[in-house]
């Protein structure tokens, strides 16, 4: 007699065809959906709707799971240990990597993400209010500890930031280890799962940003594991609800999408528990979690936590998802996560941690499938980790999928791009730099300059406070607010929508007597948009790039205001910058 599991198994060709259909829908259907709001993003330029792609992936993955009855995610029985020695080796290795990266930045220049965080932290130390006066799209826990370290220890804000950045890496590696050690899937391949999830994170060290440490990446996943631990220890829905509220608040303090993911996932899980148990206590717990979430989100909104996030939610800096082996591998992981979810729910295994983890991954998916480079596409980690674990548990899938995943997700970005990037940065900073005085007739665009070189304090005038809507001052050794004010945004970073451009112009209107510092060249050259669609071929390892279907976002309101209300003054910073004075 045929078993139930074998009778549910579909033809491999039918399963492969269905997955190919889902992938094709994600790749091509979003071009058919109009993208209404202009943003500074390649997705808007190409006419690709990332929101539509997310919906298609979620619905397609659930349809795939229903069609296959989740059989593809049926895992082997087995158990393996993830030893403390593995954690200690990992901590030591990442500590050395962080120290090495810091050594490079001390002798050359901070990583791209560190420039943003160092500037924001120094503004915080000068008395500016986070979120209301400072553009910041992450939680306060990514910024405040570094500021407090510097204040308490009597060191510079730069030293305080890097101390906290290094600590975050050690905490994040530990979080990754804890997740792989205690999650109730991938039990027979815990070490392989740990290595697979940890190694891609090495490439984030070069940017030195708190936003790309494992603390943020594994925040929701680890917090859900902690809440589920409370549930399994107590079987008390009230305690589960209280723990979920606390975990959601902590997640919001790290990054908004992480806190929202925990809140929505635990709400959904409590609804499932209430449905299965039909007990008033579960409804009370659900009410506690719902009210706690409303209060928490209201407080966060009042503090301004979601102000900067709204521009990204509008599609700012998004990439279209292109057909490539790399994106195909990642899409398959999320489909596998949906199969795990379907299998657990359909079999009534509702105490599985994988259920809220997959829901949390769905909440983070719009962020992960926005700026669709490799790192971001993998960042819906609660679901990505579950899907990866399920694949590693299936011998056939593991043999087919793992070598390609290893090459496309790990070896190329980590061993190749990472070290090429570091050597390129070192070369730029050790190569001689041609000065403006060496060739006075040359236009600014032909002058050689170090990569990411920003004007330092010594290059900027400080006889009064100047304003710049575009020029970003160097955050090292110190960023002096009394010399140069950038307003809410750091230069044009995160100026992603027409609303943000008008806010930038309004900052000029509010400072009618303040001189402005711009790049020495045409005014419009100060405001650069993302328009290179061909660059996506390298970013996503795709053989093609889409054509432009929409006109690019225009900075014209800001450029016109500068032309009409300011006149050019002296050139400064060795010919790189120019002062513009308000017209009388």
Cα 327 to Cα 130, 245, 390: the distances in Å are 36, 34, 18
Lowest mean pLDDT among 217-226, 265-274, 531-540: 531-540
Q: Is the model more confident about 425 or about 440?
A: 425
174-191: pLDDT as tens digits: 999 999 999 988 788 899
Average pLDDT over residues 567-581: 94
Mean of per-residue pLDDT scores for the chain: 88
Backbone angles phi, psi at 20, to 5 degrees: -60, -35
Average pLDDT over residues 433-445: 36
Cα 121 to Cα 150, 256, 325: the distances in Å are 10, 19, 39
Q: Is the model more confident about 107 or about 259?
A: 259
Q: In whole angstroms, what is the distance from residue 98 CA to residue 94 CA? A: 6
pTM attached to this predicted model: 0.90
Count of beta carbons in the 10 Å neighbourhood of residue 305: 23
Average pLDDT over residues 358-362: 98
CB 141 within 8 A of CB 258: no
Structural tokens at position 61: 């993955």
Which percentage of the chain shows pLDDT scores above 90? 68
Average pLDDT over residues 336-346: 96
Average pLDDT over residues 362-379: 86
* pLDDT in the model for residue 241: 98
Average pLDDT over residues 319-348: 94
Average pLDDT over residues 165-172: 98
227: confidence class by pLDDT, cuts 50, 70, 90: very high
Angle of CA points 523, 528, 533, to nearest 5°: 150
Evaluate if residue 328 carries a pLDDT over 80: yes
Evaluate if residue 426 carries a pLDDT over 70: no
Average pLDDT over residues 559-574: 95
Evaluate if residue 338 carries a pLDDT over 70: yes
């Amino acid at each position: 007699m045929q078993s139930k599991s074998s009778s549910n198994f579909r033809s491999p060709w039918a399963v492969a065809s269905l997955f190919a259909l889902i992938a094709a829908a994600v790749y091509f259907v979003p071009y058919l959906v109009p993208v209404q709001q202009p943003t500074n993003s390649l997705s808007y330029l190409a006419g690709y709707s990332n929101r539509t792609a997310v919906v298609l992936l979620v619905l397609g993955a659930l349809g795939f799971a229903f069609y296959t009855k989740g059989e593809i995610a049926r895992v082997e029985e087995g158990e393996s240990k993830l030893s403390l020695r593995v954690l200690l080796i990992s901590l030591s290795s990442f500590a050395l990597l962080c120290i090495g990266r810091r050594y490079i930045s001390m002798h050359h220049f901070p990583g791209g993400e560190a420039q943003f965080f160092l500037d924001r932290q120094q503004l915080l130390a000068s008395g500016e209010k986070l979120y209301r006066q400072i553009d910041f799209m992450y939680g306060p826990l990514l910024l405040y500890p570094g500021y407090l370290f510097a204040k308490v220890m009597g060191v510079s804000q730069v030293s305080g930031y890097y101390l906290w950045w290094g600590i975050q890496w050690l905490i994040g590696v530990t979080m990754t280890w804890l997740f792989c050690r205690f999650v109730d899937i991938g039990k027979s391949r815990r070490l392989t799962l740990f290595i697979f999830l940890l190694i891609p994170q090495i490439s984030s060290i070069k940017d030195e940003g708190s936003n790309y440490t494992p603390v943020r990446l594994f925040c929701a996943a680890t917090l859900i594991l902690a809440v589920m631990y409370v549930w399994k220890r107590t079987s008390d829905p009230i305690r589960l609800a209280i723990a979920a509220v606390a975990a959601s608040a902590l997640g919001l303090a790290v990054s908004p999408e992480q806190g929202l993911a925990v809140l929505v996932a635990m709400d959904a899980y409590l609804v499932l528990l209430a449905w299965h148990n039909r007990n008033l206590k579960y409804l009370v717990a659900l009410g506690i979690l719902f009210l706690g979430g409303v209060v928490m989100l209201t407080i966060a909104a009042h503090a301004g936590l979601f102000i900067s996030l709204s521009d990204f939610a509008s599609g700012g800096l998004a990439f279209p998802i292109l057909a490539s082996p790399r994106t195909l591998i990642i899409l398959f992981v999320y489909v596998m996560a949906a199969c795990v979810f379907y299998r657990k729910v359909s079999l009534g295994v509702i105490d599985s941690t994988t259920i809220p983890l997959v829901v949390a991954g769905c909440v983070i998916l719009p962020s992960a499938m926005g700026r669709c480079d490799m790192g971001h596409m993998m960042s819906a980690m609660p679901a990505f980790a579950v899907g990866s674990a399920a694949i590693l548990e299936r011998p056939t899938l593991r043999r087919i999928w793992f070598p390609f995943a290893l090459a496309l997700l790990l070896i190329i970005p980590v061993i190749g791009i990472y070290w090429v990037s570091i050597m390129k940065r070192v070369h730029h900073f050790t190569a001689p730099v041609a000065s403006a005085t060496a060739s006075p007739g040359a236009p600014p665009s032909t002058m050689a300059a170090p990569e990411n070189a920003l004007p330092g304090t010594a290059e900027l005038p400080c006889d009064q406070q100047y304003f710049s809507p575009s020029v970003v001052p160097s955050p090292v050794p110190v960023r002096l607010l009394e010399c140069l004010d950038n307003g809410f945004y750091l230069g044009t970073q995160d100026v992603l929508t027409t609303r943000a451009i008008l806010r930038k112009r309004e900052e000029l209107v509010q400072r009618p007597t303040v001189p402005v510092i711009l790049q020495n060249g045409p005014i419009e050259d100060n405001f650069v948009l993302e328009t290179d669609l061909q660059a996506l071929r390298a970013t996503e390892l795709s053989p093609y790039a889409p054509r432009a279907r929409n006109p690019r976002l225009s900075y014209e309101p800001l450029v016109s205001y500068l032309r009409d209300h300011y006149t050019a003054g002296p050139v400064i910073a060795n010919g790189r910058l120019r002062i513009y004075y308000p017209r009388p």
